[in-house]
Amino acid sequence: MTEVAFHFNAPGKVGYACRLLRKAAGAGARVVVTGEAPLLAELDVALWTFAPLEFVAHCNAANAVPAVLAASPVVLAAAVRDVPHHQVLVNLGVPVPEGFERFERLIEVVTGEDEDRKQARARWKHYADRGYAITRHDLATKEQA
């Protein structure tokens, strides 16, 4: 069964995703990131520019050739139906990602904004109602420590 984790109080979805993906890729994880197309486009640019010496290899599933898609440790995908990796899924979007149950792990990134938290509560309820154990990570608490 998919491990579900919520990372609450992210200062921003794109910046937090960059740090999370850098760490995951450095550990050898294969990650798919899903969300709305404009947010994925912003993340794509940020992954090229967020740290001068720390490029995170990635591709966009919408326009990558199959060989690049299979070789990329990070895949940005608006829909996760036809992605090659099923290790970690990071959701930056509003809805529950269709097909999330095919992944070993799902990480939901949630900011402190009221609307984002409200939408996250609906996703939490969706997973809990289906019997998924959920781990909660409060990023505000970690930053204070």
Ordered domains of the chain (ranges, CATH): 3-138 (3.40.50.10110)
Burial of 86 (0-12, 13-18, 19+ CB in 10 A): middle
Residue 124 pLDDT: 98
**Averaged pLDDT of the chain:** 94
Tokens of 76: 């940005």
Mean pLDDT value of segment 43-53: 87
CB 87 within 8 A of CB 2: no
pLDDT tier for residue 49 given thresholds of 50, 70 and 90: confident
**Do strands 74-76 and 58-60 pair parallel, antiparallel, or not at all (unpaired)?**
parallel
Instruction: Flag whether pLDDT at 31 surpasses 60.
Output: yes
Number of Cβ within a 10 Å radius of residue 54: 12
According to the model, what pLDDT value does residue 143 have? 56
- Name the band, by pLDDT with cuts 50, 70 and 90, for residue 141: confident
**Confidence class of residue 93 from pLDDT cuts 50, 70 and 90?**
very high
pLDDT tens track for 32-46: 999 999 999 999 999
CA torsion 46-51-52-54 (nearest 10°) is: -100
